[in-house]
Amino acid sequence: MHRKLSQKRILLLCIVVICCVLCVLLYVTYTYKAPADTHLFDIAHLTIGSDKNVFAVEVADTPQLRRHGLMHRTTLCKNCGMLFVFPRSDIHPFWMKDTALPLDIVWVNNGVIVEIVENATPFSESIIMPHHHANSVIELPAGSVARTGIHVGDSVHIKK
């Protein structure tokens, strides 16, 4: 009888442990938030100015994707970037809060570069206020504008 009682206690303990493990797994599953870098952006290819300036860019074309942008990224390849697409041409200010990478920011209106800010400071909360209306903005790794010779007036072609 003592042996049966001991076996029942062991079985009960196993059931309690399994229930606890399941509770922890359910909690983790329903409260886990994916890291910021795992947003699913569409990819497009931009040709800026000459045919040799081709960049693979993630497309931020919804308010949520535009708000997130390149925040919390720690790397960006030299020919990569992000394309922010806006529903209408307007003054679209940017800032670098929570952005760890220095960036070149390029404002584009109807396929033509209208303004450029080079080497925007990481983590800065200063507003970068453009002087021209744009319907899209491109963020590239700092130094891309100087390296490729991109300038105001260059055409931008997007291929999705």
Distant-in-sequence contacts of 116-120, Cβ < 8 A, 24+ apart: 116/145, 116/150, 116/151, 116/152, 118/142, 118/143, 118/145, 118/146, 119/143, 120/94, 120/96
Specify the pLDDT at position 117.
Answer: 98
Q: Are residues 77 and 118 in the same domain?
A: yes
State the DSSP H helix or E strand holding residue 136, giving kind and residue range, or none if neither.
strand 134-141
Q: Is 75 exposed, middle or buried (0-12, 13-18, 19+ CB in 10 A)?
A: exposed
Nearest C-alpha neighbor of 77 from the set 43, 107, 111: 43
Sequence-separated (6 or more) residues with CB below 8 Å from residue 150: 48, 49, 53, 106, 113, 116, 144
Parallel, antiparallel, or unpaired: how do β-strands 42-48 and 54-60 relate?
Answer: antiparallel
Q: Write out pLDDT tens, residues 96-145.
A: 999 999 999 999 999 999 999 999 999 999 999 999 999 999 999 999 99
CB 114 within 8 Å of CB 133: yes
Per-residue H/E/C for 47-100:
EECCCCCEEEEEEECCHHHHHHCCCCCCCCCCCEEEEEEEEEEECCCECCCCCC
Q: Are residues 110 and 50 in the same domain?
A: yes
Phi and psi of 126, rounded to 5°?
A: -70, 140
Q: Write out pLDDT tens, residues 15-74.
A: 877 876 665 655 655 554 444 444 568 999 999 998 889 999 999 999 999 998 999 999
Q: Are residues 56 and 89 in the same domain?
A: yes
Q: Are residues 147 and 90 in the same domain?
A: yes
Specify the pLDDT at position 9.
Answer: 78
Q: Which amino acid, 105?
A: I
Q: What is the extent of the structural domain holding 62?
A: 41-159
Q: Are residues 21 and 50 in the same domain?
A: no
Specify the pLDDT at position 37.
Answer: 47
Q: Are residues 50 and 17 in the same domain?
A: no
As a whole number of angstroms, the distance between CA 60 and CA 51 comes to 23
Q: Are residues 102 and 139 in the same domain?
A: yes
Number of domains in the chain: 2
Q: Are residues 96 and 133 in the same domain?
A: yes
Q: Which amino acid, 66?
A: R
CATH code where residue 86 lies? 2.60.120.1140
